Amino acid sequence: MKACFPVVLFALAGSGLLAQGAPQSIKLPEPRHQGAMSVEAALSARQSVRTLARDSIALADVGQLLWAAQGVNRPNGHRTAPSAMAAYPLELYLVASRVSGLAGGVYHYGVVGHVLEPVLSGDRLREFVDGASHQAWVADAAAVIVFTAVPGRTSRFGARTERFVSDEVGASAENVYLQAAALGLGTTFAGSVQDTAAARILALPADRSAVGIMPVGHPR
């Protein structure tokens, strides 16, 4: 499916921060539930890839990776990754730089409806690398998936809140690794993200902070 996000919306947003209530979501192509590669083959192929080509990746592949990370996979609304008491503390963002059919910008992944919700206009990858990642290889990514966590959703777990969030990031990130392997894409989970800078650059709501990133692209 082709993205129908009006480019004019970005042009109208002077600061780059898109107005509340602006025409919103970009429906992502429906995720595939069958693929050519077995789970065993994906596990055999899984590895961290940091040498990425500076070409574009398909919007359908971005959607597939986001679905693998946190997509709804059952009628009860539960997701591809497990969550303690189904509290779902993770919210995913996409720093899009070179995604076919998608304007450069920052997007929030809307789990319900499998949509991208525009947050900021313009390609923010360089700013994100310089301010929040400090790892040069990230600049070659076509897009960066940013894992953020809303600890308030898991505060009922008391002292285990932080641990449960980490557990969920790990499960979700592994899904992305396996899906990337099946799509022939390269990625690496990077935990060292500067959360204050990331919050500023991505205009994150105050209830959440960045806990890891997965830059993606075609392996070089």
Ligand X SMILES: Cc1cc2nc3c(=O)[nH]c(=O)nc-3n(C[C@H](O)[C@H](O)[C@H](O)COP(=O)(O)O)c2cc1C
Helix 59-70 crosses helix 161-183 at what angle (to 10 degrees)? 140
CB-based contact 185:157 (threshold 8 Å): no
Nearer to ligand X, 84 or 173 (CB): 173
What x/- string results for residues 88 through 127 when contact with ligand X is judged by CB under 6 A?
----------------------------------------
Class of residue 126 by CB neighbours under 10 A (exposed 0-12, middle 13-18, buried 19+): exposed
Q: Which residue is nearest to ligand X (CB)?
A: 191
Query: What is the footprint of ligand X within residues 176-215 (CB under 6 A)?
Result: 188-192
Q: Which of these segments, 44-52, 92-100, 114-122, 148-156, binds ligand X (CB under 6 A)? A: 44-52
- Nearer of residues 128 and 189 to ligand X, judged by Cβ: 189
Letter string b/e over residues 157-187, b meaning 16 or more CB atoms within 10 A of that residue's CB: beeebeebbeebbebbbbbbbbbbbbbebbb
Mention every residue, 6+ apart, whose C-beta is less than 8 A from residue 214.
65, 144, 145, 147, 173, 176, 187, 188, 189, 190
Residue closer to ligand X, measured from CB, 25 or 135: 135
The size of the interface with ligand X (CB under 6 A), counted in residues, is 9
The nearest distance, CB 134 to ligand X, in angstroms, is: 9
Q: Which stretch binds ligand X (CB under 6 A): 34-42, 45-53, 121-129, 149-157?
A: 45-53
Give residues in contact with ligand X (CB under 6 A): 47-48, 50, 135, 188-192
